[in-house]
Amino acid sequence: MKLLSLLIFSLLFSLVASLSVQAAPFSAAVYNRPEVQQELAYLQKHPSHLARSRARAETWLPHLLPMLRQRQLPLELVWLPVVESAYQTGAESPVGAAGLWQFMPATAQHFGLIIDNEFDGRYATLSASRAAMQYLSQLHQYFDGDWLLALAAYNAGEGRVARAIKKSGTRDFWQLPLPEETRRYVPRFIAVQKLLAIPYTRTPSPLTEHKIQGPIALTQLARHLGVPVAELKHWNGAIKGQMLSQAREYSILVADKGHYQADPHVVIAPQPLFMAPAAGLDISATGALFSAGTAIFDAAPPPGW
């Protein structure tokens, strides 16, 4: 049913006229909302949470910012993985969402990511980023340029947001009958991107992407790229076996000379980030980070924050 819904959504999207996506997605009034002020107050009180995520992001910003510019998407969206995964590329939630952008398997495959016994494209950070940006762009156009609705749909699913609009008779995100985790997810991102501000790269990325055509054995791939097999696996958490069997293109990362050891902040091994299941989310399990009816992080922040 979810795959059918995604197919219908994509067909509808193809009928929408192509429009340039504008930067600066939020008005000044949005930052004065009490929901956003609550998130800002928490993050300003605990700056180390954002500092750790910002440090992890450094490897990826030189790759992700050009992708956003190419798609005419707001550069601030590069901070969405801070909310999704605290910029931990190996993040895995208890409900099965995985990677920097926390894709569920069905959604990932719908947007062209490989998931099989040998390779999980949700952990292929650059491929997953392209898929996430495609989805965000579609959502933005589907909801007539309203980034609040698009972000809510990224978390809860476009179908759920569309039903909430129909039920309530309003397109005002703040008035929609959405799940509690979604109503907190959106203001959290607004607060995060405001505090981290316009993104920029401090240093070049040590990683180079190679587009590799399968099928190919991992040993053959390592010889072709001139790196040890261990290094390939170190930087490519998507690789699960010794062979890439599909006759299609794979995104493989290789570190520059002298950068064999990964930044210790970039965690490749899967880590559960969230405190409770969040059933029904199309693409993201981050909603479970916010337990309804309780103070934010009433016990402890998730690992990585």
Task: Please say whether the beta carbons of 185 and 83 come within 8 A.
Answer: yes
Catalytic one of 84, 92, 118, 181: 84
Distance from C-alpha of 213 to C-alpha of 221, rounded to nearest angstrom? 10
111-128 burial, b for 16+ CB within 10 Å, e for fewer?
Answer: bebbbeebbbbbbbbbbb
**168 Cβ contact list (under 8 Å, min separation 6):** 175, 176, 177
Q: Which of 151, 153, 181 is nearest to 291 (CA)?
A: 181
Token pair recorded at residue 198 = 């316009």
Distance from C-alpha of 188 to C-alpha of 39, rounded to nearest angstrom? 6
Task: Please say whether the beta carbons of 248 and 114 come within 8 A.
Answer: yes
Question: Is residue 84 annotated as part of the catalytic site, yes or no?
Answer: yes
Calculate helix-pair angle for 158-168, 2-14, nearest 10 degrees: 80
**116 Cβ contact list (under 8 Å, min separation 6):** 245, 246
> Which residues are marked as active site?
84
